[in-house]
Amino acid sequence: MKTIIYATDCTINDVSSLRYAYRFSCIMKADLHILHVYQFPPIIFSTIKSTDTLRKRFQKEKKELVTQYCDTHLKNEFCPKPITIHALENVSIAKSILDLSKKLFSDLIIIGMKDSYTTRGYLSGNIADALLDKIEIPLLIVPNGVDYSMFSTILYATDFEKEDLISIQKLIEIARPFKALIEVVHVFEAIEYTAKEHMERFKKALLKEVSYPEITFKTIASGKVKSGLLSVLRNEDVNMLVMLERKHNWELNNLFHKDLVKEMEATVAIPILAFNKRNTKLKNVDTLNSNGNNGLNVMV
């Protein structure tokens, strides 16, 4: 991982996610780019200065604001790692994030999770939603107030797809510096008796591709995927939840989809890392259960 983008609105509610992004980038030895997106205010009075001049001045002021914001809240950090500041004018925050990500060839995007009482309300949910529709790299959503800590356990929710195999390989790149345990979990309805067999086949296929000692596999019976995942999070000291964003396809009986990512974002108090099938390395890959029987026939 070489480049990380963190998008902020420079409010007090974003401070914890700013520190999280900075410390995370230090551990990953990645370049951190801080992005602030703003709108140019309407000019309601005549002026001798051109609009272009005013826009340049306004951008400079915004960049100075972001710099001061970072200096104030990162001054006591343990790793004196330089950061790059970006202040971009745009009506769409998501588009600015995506454009900068493509320009920098970034490996990860981090955004904070907004509360209802902030000036934006649940805007981060809207941003995350827009990004999940188009993003081609992982998206890390960090709740307000979460304290950064060394990862010890990462929970990956799988639905036995080939894209899961690739996503877990990418996740190992994040887990390895922390020597974190990756728990690969599949939640199934009680009537799905073959879940353990699917998991065993998935495990064998994954371990053929990766060599990471800190990884376990388990299946959990539950009436709903969300409640099953929440039960694991309640009973174990999990530091991050990882999911593969996938458009729901009723014919393939996929259990995990974008709506579930959004539901978990609004529920859990730990960071959520979302991988996306739009990732160029995940495109044109058939799902393991493409024959509709969840048998992982393509993999074996």
- CATH code where residue 208 lies: 3.40.50.620
Q: For the chain, which ranges sit under pLDDT 70?
A: 42-49, 78, 114-126, 190-193, 246-259, 278-300
Picking from 111, 143, 175, the residue at the C-terminal end of a domain is 143
Tell which residue, 15, 236, 1, 276, has the closest CA to residue 142: 15
Give the pLDDT of residue 192: 60
Q: Give Cα 80 to chain centroid, integer Å.
A: 25
Domain count, the chain: 2
Q: Considering the entire predicted model, what is its pTM? A: 0.83
User: Same structural domain for residues 15 and 128?
Assistant: yes
Identify whether 296 is part of a domain. Answer: no
Give yes or no: residues 25 and 96 share one domain: yes
Residue 148 in any domain: the answer is no
Name the pairing type of β-strands 31-38 and 83-89: parallel
Whole-number pLDDT of residue 61 = 93
Q: What is the pLDDT of residue 1?
A: 87
pLDDT score for 76: 77
Token readout for 177 is 């510096």
Task: Verify that 173 and 245 share a domain, yes or no.
Answer: yes
Residues 6+ apart with CB under 8 A from 183: 153, 154, 155, 156, 215, 216, 217, 218, 232, 236, 238
Domain assignment present for 287: no
What's residue 259's pLDDT? 65
**What was the pLDDT predicted at 245?**
77
In a domain, 185, yes or no: yes
The whole domain housing 188 covers: 153-276
**CA 92 centroid distance within chain:** 19
